[in-house]
Every structure is written in structure tokens, then in C-alpha cells.
Structure 1
Amino acid sequence: MSETELPVLQGTELEAAEKIFGDRLPLAKRYVEHLATSGIERGLIGPREVPRLWGRHVLNCAVVEEFIVENASVADVGSGAGLPGLCLAIARPDLSLTLIEPLERRVIWLDEVIEDLGLENVDILRSRAEQAVGMVDADYVTARAVSALVGLLDITLPILRGQGELLALKGRSAAEEITKARKKLNKYGAREVDILTAGETLLEEPTTVVQVIL
């Protein structure tokens, strides 16, 4: 893909990216370049997503960092193309990220991107989330576009082993999903369940996050 076909970062998205990534913005740009080229070639991202890689994907994920305390450990379930895991790793070098991804082709791609960007705060665990319990220590578990909340709870909350937070990136159905998952939330002993909004002052379309605190 030629340079002219890469998504352009400008206007309010550029301002948001500068605030979120700071002096690591070149790393974020390089990551987007990977998404727009090899990410599409290997089927991790659909070609129609290229023009909105910044707004709909990378910035949408990165703003979730505002809900994560300093020096925390984060397990990203079903990392796929590194959304939100790699976005958080770039924005927050203080965090320790573990990307949990079962598919080998995605793991290979993630490993190549991490090496190219020189990210030292990221590890990859090739595993189904259900099998990762006890294999990773995490203060937070993140997930985006993995499954509806009622199913997501079974593959994320056990990783926290009774203490920590799930930050699930969701859309307009967040409240409905919480209602459908109420019995399971009680089963896992969730102390708090909230719908949070990330990036309100930065993004035209802020990110909706379901926060579950154990």
C-alpha cells in the first residue's frame, strides 16, 4: 500500500492523538501503518476500515487508558489486531500488557508488530481465554468485539481470580447487555457495574465502556 493510501491523521483526530500518545505518537502512526497494510493482507482488518482506523479503532481504544491506574497489569482477551491491547501499550508505557489470542496467524502478526515498534511492555499468550486462568496476573481485563457481555463474563472475570476490573468496550447496547447479564454478574460477585464514557472531551464519538468491578 502506498503512502497516499494510508489513513490521514488530521483535525480533531490529530489533536486527540497528540494528547493521548504524546511523544509516542510516531509509534501509534507506525502501528496504524501495520493495520492498513499487513493487517488487511492477513485478514485482521477489513479494507473498508482503512479510512476510519484512527477514529473508529485506534483512538476509540486508546482513550480507555483513562480508567486504568498507573503501573497496572492488563490482560487483553481476544486481542486480534491489537485492539485495544496494543493501543493501550503504546499510550501507556507504564502498563504491563498481556495479549491473549488463540489464533496462530494473529499471534504471528502481533509478534511482528510488537518487535517492529520495540514495545517492551507487551507479552503475547497464545491461548483461549478460558485456558489462560492462572497463567496471567491482571489488575484489569479488557475486551472489544469479542462477544455479548453475558458470554464475555465467563471468559474474562475468571482471569481476575476474584479481584480486579473488566473494561469491556461496547456500543449502544451496553445497558441492554448488562440487564441480560445480571444473573451472571451476581454469580461472579460483581460489586459494581457501570457504563462509562471515555474520551468525551477528545473524540467526536466517545467510547462506551462497561466496567465490572470484583
Structure 2
Amino acid sequence: MTVSPDIAALRPTLEHGLAELALDPALSQPLLDYLALLARWNRAYNLTAVRDPAEMVTRHLLDSLAMHPYLQAGALADLGTGPGLPGIPLALARPDVQVTLVESNGKKARFLREAVRSLGIANARVLESRAEQVDEAGAYRQITARALATLAGILDVGGHLLAPDGVLLAMKSGTTDEESRELPPGWAIRDVHPLRVPGLEARRELVVVART
């Protein structure tokens, strides 16, 4: 895929961030292809409020990829994925993870199907559905949801998708303690991993929630 000069100019920043995250800098090409597609569709369909491609590198690509060391091989459901975040960057970085992109918004689901097709992402598929209506109980080793607000809210709509030993992987910004008190019975926080997102000063942590 040919990317515009302004997108291509972001390669050094992206490659530096990938190196900080211990990821192969060769990932920069498919990630830039995805970024170019997202930026083009975003002008017409308003898929994300972040409109500057340089800002997308940090706030979308690298922020999504910061959790990659904690993924398990196997099935991952990304609930309310929007334009594919964090699911598409993670699928590109981790071919051993089969990513299901769950999105109920029609225009975003159309973008996701085009992205998976045009980028040739063999380990990703799109489900145009609300998370609570996905009829695949117990089919996933892990779920994540970057856009949904609380740990309890994610489990409410997607907890049924997890295998008995499956985990919720949730990116948080300092709200873990208060949200832990709202978890439904039978669920508890197993781990909290501090994350460093290259180029981002905001606090990030990955919260791992499992059945008790």
C-alpha cells in the first residue's frame, strides 16, 4: 500500500517507539499502512476524535502495543474496538493471537473489514455485533476493551466470552483501586502491570482480572 509523504515521515518516530517496546521495527510498514487507511477513512466517517496522524502514532498505535508482552497465544476478543484499537496493532504484532474485532457501529465495522482485507491480516476477523450479543461463550482466553469505561462494565457485557481460566486485560490510567471495589462477585484483580508508552506522559497500567 502506498502511503502519503506525511504518513511516511512518521516512520522514524514509530520505529523508535517499537524498539522501546521490544518489537521488530519491521512492523512499522504494516502499521503505517493501517494508519494511512485510518486517516483516509477518518476524514469521511469520523472514526476517531484523534485526527493528527502524528498523534495517532502515540495515542493509538504505541498505546495499543504497550500491552503486547502480556498477551497469551490463542483467542482474544477486542470489545467495542472502534476503528480496531487495540486489536489491529496487536494482531499485526502477535500472529500467534487470533483477534476477534467486535464492533456494533456499521461504518466502523465496514472500515474494519476493509482494513483486515487490504492489510491481509490473517489472524483477525470482524464481528458486527454488540459485545453482550456475541454467542461464543467461553471461547476466548482473553478479552480487552479500550473504549469501555470500567472493569465491571466490560465484564458485564463480555465476561461470558471468557474461558474458565480466561482473563480480562484492561488498560487503565490510575482508576484501578476504585474500580476494583465495583467488580461483580466471582471476579478479582490478579495483577497490575505498569506500562510505559513511548512518547506519552500519561499514567498507564494493565489490569489483569480473572475469576476467583
Name the CA distance, whole Å, in 2 between partners of 1:16 and 1:151. Answer: 31
Contact kept? 2:11, 2:28, Cα under 8 Å: no
Aligned residues: 205
Shift of 1:177: 1.9
Aligned to 2:108: 106
Distance change (3 Å), C-alpha of 1:47 and 1:37: farther
Name the CA distance, whole Å, in 2 between partners of 1:132 and 1:143. Answer: 14
**Secondary structure at the counterpart of residue 107 of structure 1:** helix
Contact kept? 2:166, 2:210, Cα under 8 Å: yes
Aligned to 2:165: 163
Which structure has greater strand proportion?
Answer: 2
Structure 1 unaligned regions, length at least 5? none
Name the CA distance, whole Å, in 1 between partners of 2:131 and 2:210. Answer: 19
Contact kept? 1:24, 1:91, Cα under 8 Å: yes
Aligned to 2:125: 123
Contact kept? 1:167, 1:212, Cα under 8 Å: yes
Aligned to 2:64: 61
Distance change (3 Å), C-alpha of 1:50 and 1:136: farther
Name the CA distance, whole Å, in 2 between partners of 1:22 and 1:136. Answer: 35
Q: Select which of 192, 195, 205 maps to 2:192.
A: 195
Identity %: 28
Q: Are 1:32 and 2:35 counterparts?
A: yes
Aligned to 1:15: 16
TM-score when scaled to structure 1?
Answer: 0.84
Aligned to 2:4: 3
Shift of 1:91: 0.6
Q: Which runs of 4+ in 1 moved over 6 A?
A: none
Which structure has greater helix proportion?
Answer: 1
What pairs with 1:66-105 in structure 2 (closer than 5 Å)?
A: 66-69=69-72, 71-105=73-107
Structure 2 unaligned regions, length at least 5? none
Contact kept? 2:100, 2:126, Cα under 8 Å: yes
Distance change (3 Å), C-alpha of 1:178 and 1:129: same
The one-letter code sitting in structure 2 at the alignment partner of 1:156 is G
